Amino acid sequence: MLDIKFIRENPEVVKQGILNKNEKDTVDEILALDKKRRSLLQNTEELKAQKNKVSAEVGRLKKAGESTDHIFEEMRKVADEIKEIDDELRTINEKLNSLLTWVPNLPHNSVPIGKSAEDNVQVREWLPEDFKQEDDEKKLDHIQLGKKLNILDFERGAKISGSGFPVYVGKGATLERALINFMLDYHLQNHGYTEILPPFLVNKESMTGTGQLPKMADDMYTCEKDELYPIPTAEVPITNMHRDEMLAEKDLPIKYVGYSACFRREAGSYGKESKGFLRVHQFNKVEMVKIVYPENSYDELEGLVSDAEDILKALKIPYRILMLCSGDLSFAAAKCYDIETWSPAENKWLEASSCSNFEDFQARRANIKFKPSEGGKPMFAHTLNGSGLATSRLMVSILENYQTPEGKIIVPPVLQKYTGFNLID
RNA sequence: GGAGGGGUGGCAGAGUGGUUGAAUGCGGCGGUCUUGAAAACCGUUGAGUCUUCGCGGGCUCCGGGGGUUCGAAUCCCUCCCCCUCCGCCA
């Protein structure tokens, strides 16, 4: 959520930001409602001041044993008038708030202006020392490997749940579990995070707090009867842990890392892009969440990306970092880096992580504040999160990059103590 | 699922219709004392919003929403959450 005061004072900046993000500009409508709201507010508050004054007077008169009947008739009228204005005010507030929840966060100044993913800017690329690309065309893709080695079963997943719900079998399941444990341990031991294992179903307030609702309503699953939503990412429960809380500056930065299954409807995506692991409805992810002092948030973003990179370096998976352009930024993000891992069989880069700074956009929605140590007014914290990382796309890269000419998989050395085996055949 | 109890400021906890935005304690901040710290003592300390260049002033907020009343933390309705006991159960 943007600060209404900021919108009021910088309408052109907000409009430009919305435009750069390919979102709908409702600024003029918002400003008109805001103006109306303030005028009604002044109106009703004046009447309320009068009411309060008279009511206090009644108290005094009663104590003195004097008659108060003559006052009541008049005050009843004032009370009615207040009610009328407040009703109108309520309608306007609801409309205004609903419009505000649809206004995206504005891109940070350092973000390149662009329309789509084509305009994203590569920041750097990392390849393992012994990385070779010659034999790529001979390599099996992850679906072929999964079938051949009997470690992934997409067909049975489709039977028991539907397409996009993969089943991990045997060593495939163990490898997945090893990967999750490795990533969690790595962040805990080397990057100073605190582990969280969050609920996988959250309420509407949480979904709104991090910005998934209302815009992404069609992309999430719902449990209507209980008004709960299966989480699309652990970002939601973890960030919302501190919803409606007043933190102390000395608590910051808060750094959490947590595993969760992630559930996404992926409404409207079909075809080649969606085969195998490339697009699934349920996947596993280790997520990092930071709640930080505003001034430090861009440094913390760089740190977040580097924390995710460390995992790929340890696994020796080729990757590149992209800075998303304004048009490709998600609704709540001010700046975002995507990390893409190399898939030799697909012959392309696959998004395995997204690291974003939301500045105070989520904090304002979720009401996450802190008291500055130096005193003064409470401030909204800045929130960030990044995948560290999502296993499905990463698994594609691991399987494909670690396959032998015979179509077996060598378990990446750092995972071997977690799997208990070093070859899948 | 049944019965009962409870949700008040950063935290703990008083307060049951009229200067109560809220006693008190803790915590925070400032100070005295001290070589320094602790302790002790003194002072100070809720949030949001509107208005004003500023000083200031107004309004709202005691789980959420609605109602009664001239006036509600306090009474009524409703929803949510937490705790205790019983039942059921992975």
Domains along the sequence of chain A with CATH: 4-101 (1.10.287.40), 117-424 (3.30.930.10)
How crowded is residue A392: how many other Cβ atoms within 10 Å of its Cβ? 22
Of the pLDDT bands very low, low, confident and very high (cuts 50, 70, 90), residue A269 is low
Residue A272 scores a pLDDT above 60:
no
C-alpha distances in angstroms, A165 versus A78, A179, A206, A279? 62, 19, 25, 10
pLDDT confidence of residue A273 = 64
Q: pLDDT tens for residues A3-50?
A: 999 999 999 999 999 999 999 999 999 999 999 999 999 999 999 999
Nucleic strand B under 7 Å from the C-beta of A77? no
Q: pLDDT tens for residues A169-220?
A: 999 999 999 999 999 999 999 999 999 999 999 999 999 999 999 899 999 9
CB A260 within 8 A of CB A234: yes
Residue A268 scores a pLDDT above 70:
no
3-state secondary structure A94-106: HHHHHHHHCCCCC
Nucleic strand B under 7 Å from the C-beta of A347? no
Nucleic strand B under 7 Å from the C-beta of A54? yes
Nucleotide nearest to A247 (CA to C1'): B10
In angstroms, the CA A347 to CA A340 distance is 12
Lowest mean pLDDT segment, chosen from A198-207, A249-258, A264-273: A264-273
How crowded is residue A158: how many other Cβ atoms within 10 Å of its Cβ? 14
Residue A107 scores a pLDDT above 70:
yes
The letter for the amino acid at A33 is L
Whole-number distance in Å between A56 CA and B6 C1': 32
pLDDT confidence of residue A375 = 76
Residue A286's closest CA among A318, A330, A256? A256
Lowest mean pLDDT segment, chosen from A82-86, A112-116, A144-148: A82-86
* Residues paired with residue A382 on neighbouring β-strands, in sequence order: A292
- Sheet strand arrangement including A319-323: A121-126, A319-323, A335-343, A348-357, A382-390, A282-292, A254-263, A194-196
Whole-number distance in Å between A188 CA and B39 C1': 40
Nucleic strand B under 7 Å from the C-beta of A246? yes
C-alpha distances in angstroms, A240 versus A129, A257, A422? 41, 14, 39
Q: pLDDT tens for residues A277-327?
A: 988 999 999 999 999 999 999 999 999 999 999 999 999 999 999 999 999
Nucleic strand B under 7 Å from the C-beta of A425? no
Calculate what percentage of chain A has a pLDDT beyond 70.
98
Nucleic strand B under 7 Å from the C-beta of A201? no
Whole-number distance in Å between A199 CA and B2 C1': 28
Whole-number distance in Å between A296 CA and B12 C1': 33
Question: Cα-flanking dihedrals φ and ψ of residue A365, to 5°?
Answer: -65, -45
Which bases in strand B are touched by protein, i.e. have an atom under 7 Å from a CB?
A: 10-11, 18-19, 28-29, 47-51, 58-60, 66-67, 69-71
Whole-number distance in Å between A242 CA and B12 C1': 20
CB A312 within 8 A of CB A398: no
Residue A264 scores a pLDDT above 70:
yes
Return the H-helix or E-strand segment holding A353. strand A348-357
Sign of CA dihedral A300, A303, A309, A310: negative
Whole-number distance in Å between A242 CA and B44 C1': 29
Of the pLDDT bands very low, low, confident and very high (cuts 50, 70, 90), residue A271 is low
Nucleic strand B under 7 Å from the C-beta of A98? no
The letter for the amino acid at A215 is K
CB A401 within 8 A of CB A344: yes
Lowest mean pLDDT segment, chosen from A267-281, A297-311, A409-423: A267-281
How crowded is residue A43: how many other Cβ atoms within 10 Å of its Cβ? 16
pLDDT confidence of residue A65 = 72
